[in-house]
Every structure is written in C-alpha cells, then in structure tokens.
Amino acid sequence: MAKAYTPGLLVTRHKTHRVMRRLPISGEVKVSVGDTVTADDIVAETSLPGDVNPINLSNQMSLPPKDVVECMLKKEGDPVALDEPIAQTKGIFGMFKTTVNSRYAGTIETVSPVTGQVIVRGAPLPVQVKAYVGGRVVSVRENEGCEIEADVAYVQGIFGVGGETHGRITMACQSHDQEVTPDLITADMQGTVIIGGARMTVEAIEKAREVGAAAIISGGIDDQDLKTLLGYDLGVAITGREELGITVIVTEGFGEIAMAERTFSMLAAHVGNEASVNGATQIRAGVMRPEIIIPLASIPADDADQQFEEGQLEIGRTLRVIRDPWFGMIGEVSGLPSAPHVLGSGSKARVLEVKFPSGETAIVPRANVELIEE
C-alpha cells in the first residue's frame, strides 16, 4: 500500500509564508506591489452601508400617518443621535405633548406620509483590513485585496478561539509541562502573546484578558474551562469569530497535556519578537488550524527548510499517544507488528508497540499516535 498520509501539525523554524488579505466587499486597496508593511498597517479599506431601521411614529404617537410629517422635529437627511427626540405631537392647547425619541443613531432617510414610518439608516460601517503579518506585498487584486509574503518561523496549533492579533512574545512558564495559573500572568504582559506550558485554567485566561494580553498559547485546556470562557458548549470546531478580547491557542489538545518541548523551546527562542497569531480553526475538508507566525529578521543559517511533519514510523521514533487510555503520554516506538491486532474494544486495527519512559510498554492503534520530532 502507498504510504499512509495523516495531516500533521507544522512546526518550523523557517518558511516563506504568504497571507492573502481580502475585503468582504469591493473597496480600495491601499498598498502596491513591493511595499513593505508592518502588522498594523491598513492594506485595504471599504465601508458597508449602514443598517436600515424603521420607527413607526404613527403607532407611537397614535396619529394617522399623514399627520406624522407635521410633527417631525427632524427632516429627511438630518443626523440623529440615540435617544434624541425626533417627533412631537401638538398636544391639547400646548399640553399633553408626546415626544418620540429615536431608538437608533444614524440619518433620517425617509418620512413616509403613507405608512407613518420613519426610516433611520445607521452610520456606514468602515471595514479595514490590516496587514496582520509584517512583510512585502507581492501581489495586489484591484478592489479586493493583496498578498503579503514574509520569512517566518511558523507553529500550527491544534485548536484555538479568537481571531487575528499580534504582539511581542513573553513567557509565563519556565518549562513545557508547567500549568498556567493566574499568578503567572503579570500586568507587564499587556499587548503581548503569552506562552504557557501545560494546561491553562480559565482563571489564567481571564487574568490575561484583564491585563490586556493579545493572545495566550499553551499545551492544553479543559473543555469545562473552554465552555466557561465562551459561554456555550462548542459543537463543531469552526472558530475564529469569537469576540473574547483575547486569542487562545492550544497546541496539543484538551485536558492536562504539556506543550511539545520542541514547540516550547522554539517559541522561547523568540521571546521579545513580534508574532502574529490567529486562533481561527476549521476542522473539516479544507482544514484550517490556528497559527503563530513570527516574522524573522534573518533567515536561520542551519537548515532553511527543516520541517517537523509526520514522517515514517520507525522503531525508536518518539511519539505521543492521542487517545485514551494513555492520552497525552510520550514514548518511543518499540515494535511495529504488521498484522492487524484485536483491540480491547474488539475491533481489528494495525497497531504499534510503544515504550514509555517508565519502561512500561503498550499496544496502541497506529491511528491513535502522533509523531513528535526531536
């Protein structure tokens, strides 16, 4: 059979990365090919027409629609603020006047003598697309967007919430298996990308949000903590549009699980550097994983393209078990029986033998392991 292909997470010290920056509707692209941009630069801009909000004055003032026009305090085209009076009845001998306040801010678009409705159009919503990653503009699509290229160190997480952000890298944990607790989050982490070790608690994430951190990245999170953070139980792993005020990325999975040492040390090597982070995850066909992009000032000399992707299973390779009963444990391949093996569940599957540091060995289905590059 052909070689098994399982999608793996990319963790690399260097790659040439391209990001597409695109407007939701057509607008103006503010850069041209060859420009150098920083993460905060606006590369394209447009505005969405405001929402249309009808206010039924005829009902609210108990007037026939045709009388509404005479009672208007504002005319068509006038701007109105929230709760600003827009119409008033004449009352009886100047008393008992009813005033109607606008429930929306915007501009009066029309006053209808037929329906007695006033339509307030909200302010146009400006849409700005930032560069997100500092680099060079390599192509521009007119009225649509542009593509930016940069030499970066790149880490794919397994799961994240929250959208694009960026900041300097700071370390909260000293080792890759240290839990992230609120006391490790300090006020000077404002605007930074915090790197943790093992499981992060919801209290730690909330503390990070309080101090104004841009993102927090760690090995694992409890599902209950995620639910508390989001306020709902996540059904399908399609994220990125949450408005949490902080982007959260886990690199390994749910539960008490430490960040891969390789990832941890690589991130640690970039402390103080600017990183662009996106928590958007989409686990479906056309899979999308959260990413941590660290633009490099210089290309590392050793190996320009050393990737830590899945390779062949060989005896001696280090791996992580990604399913219970040995979930999260790291060991090395000690045997590769070729015949399918009957598992405890009764199913037949191809397996491998793994030896844990404690000296214990276990039989694990090949589907339930993930290779880790040393």
d(CA 216, CA 208): 7
Q: Is 139 in the site for another protein (CB under 8 A)?
A: no
Shortest distance in whole angstroms from residue 311 CB to another protein: 15
Give the residues across from 116 on adjacent strands: none
**One residue of 54, 113, 124, 182 binding another protein per CB under 8 A:** 54
Q: Map the footprint of another protein across residues 21-40, applying CB under 8 A.
A: 24-25
**One residue of 98, 101, 110, 117 binding another protein per CB under 8 A:** 117
Place of tokens 């994983």: 289
Please state, as a whole number, how many other Cβ atoms lie within 10 Å of the Cβ of residue 329: 18
CA dihedral for 260, 265, 270, 271, sign (positive or negative): positive
DSSP type of residue 183: G
Sort strands 117-121 and 52-56 into parallel, antiparallel or unpaired.
antiparallel
The nearer residue to another protein, 237 or 268, going by C-beta atoms, is 237
Cα–Cα separations (whole angstroms), residue 250 to 125, 272, 293, 353: 33, 20, 15, 28
**One residue of 34, 346, 357, 359 binding another protein per CB under 8 A:** 346
Shortest distance in whole angstroms from residue 308 CB to another protein: 17
**One residue of 90, 136, 323, 355 binding another protein per CB under 8 A:** 323
Per-residue interface string for the shown chain with another protein, residues 250-289, x marking contact by CB under 8 A: ---xxx-------------------------x-xxxx---
* Candidate ranges 34-42, 48-56, 174-182, 201-209; the one touching another protein (CB under 8 A): 48-56
d(CA 144, CA 146): 7
Q: Is 56 in the site for another protein (CB under 8 A)?
A: yes
The nearer residue to another protein, 103 or 284, going by C-beta atoms, is 284
Shortest distance in whole angstroms from residue 287 CB to another protein: 10
DSSP string, 109-176: EEE-TTT-EEEEEPPPEEEEEE--S-EEEEEEETTTEEEEEEEEEEEE-SEEES-EEEEEEEES-SST
Q: Is 313 in the site for another protein (CB under 8 A)?
A: no
Q: Is 181 in the site for another protein (CB under 8 A)?
A: no
Place of tokens 């970039």: 270
Shortest distance in whole angstroms from residue 36 CB to another protein: 28
Q: Map the footprint of another protein across residues 355-374, applying CB under 8 A.
A: 364-365, 367-368, 370
Shortest distance in whole angstroms from residue 271 CB to another protein: 27
Please state, as a whole number, how many other Cβ atoms lie within 10 Å of the Cβ of residue 156: 19
The nearer residue to another protein, 290 or 295, going by C-beta atoms, is 290
Q: Is 123 in the site for another protein (CB under 8 A)?
A: no
The nearer residue to another protein, 50 or 182, going by C-beta atoms, is 50
Q: Is 339 in the site for another protein (CB under 8 A)?
A: no
Sort strands 330-335 and 351-355 into parallel, antiparallel or unpaired.
antiparallel
d(CA 345, CA 219): 29
d(CA 374, CA 157): 18
d(CA 361, CA 130): 51
Residues contributing to the site for another protein (CB under 8 A): 1-2, 4-6, 24-25, 51-52, 54, 56, 58-59, 65, 112, 114-117, 158-159, 222-224, 226, 233-237, 253-255, 281, 283-286, 322-325, 327, 343-349, 364-365, 367-368, 370
